[in-house]
Amino acid sequence: MLYGIAVFPSQAVQDFANSWRIRHDPHYSIIPPHMTVRDKEELSDAQLPAITEHMEAVASQTKPFQVHFNRVSSFYPASHVLYLALEDPTPMIRLHEAVCSGPLHVPSPNFVYTPHVTIGQNMPPDELHDLYGNLRMSAVDLTTPIDQLHLLRKTASGVWHIDKSFDLQG
């Protein structure tokens, strides 16, 4: 099965992101706005107990925190993605590093971890540049608590569902 690890921002952040995602993100209907903590990966049923134990340990040692989205940014030209960017990504990077250790260690990641909420992807370059030009002039001032970590599973229909949630307790 395909699994991933993410956090979900507040409903206000999700509503803001979805106002753009509905037109510009082909994944709109398969997963709510989120910040990926660890990218998707095929995992066997035999691996799940150790991963669940690891995530419980990470959650028990991580205090809930707040993040602030303060702008729209883009990964262009590496990929055609527009996203809500964090003013200070440090707490999310620490969470990512804690999760991506032990049984979830990633020996050689394909990219530098940049926590974000996607608002558009797979757009033609002209559309991406036009939308980015408009959105980067807009004020973004969204704060959300991060108090849970979620193990997500992709179903046969392609939709992502929460398999298990972990409360950050610190």
- List, by residue number, the catalytic residues: 34, 116
Question: What is the rounded CA–CA span in Å between residue 157 and residue 67?
Answer: 32
Contacts of 45 (CB under 8 A, 6+ apart): 1
Indicate the Cα dihedral angle 87, 39, 7, 100, nearest 10°.
-80
- Rounded to whole angstroms, what are the CA distances from 30 to 41, 78, 137, 150, 156? 17, 23, 29, 16, 12
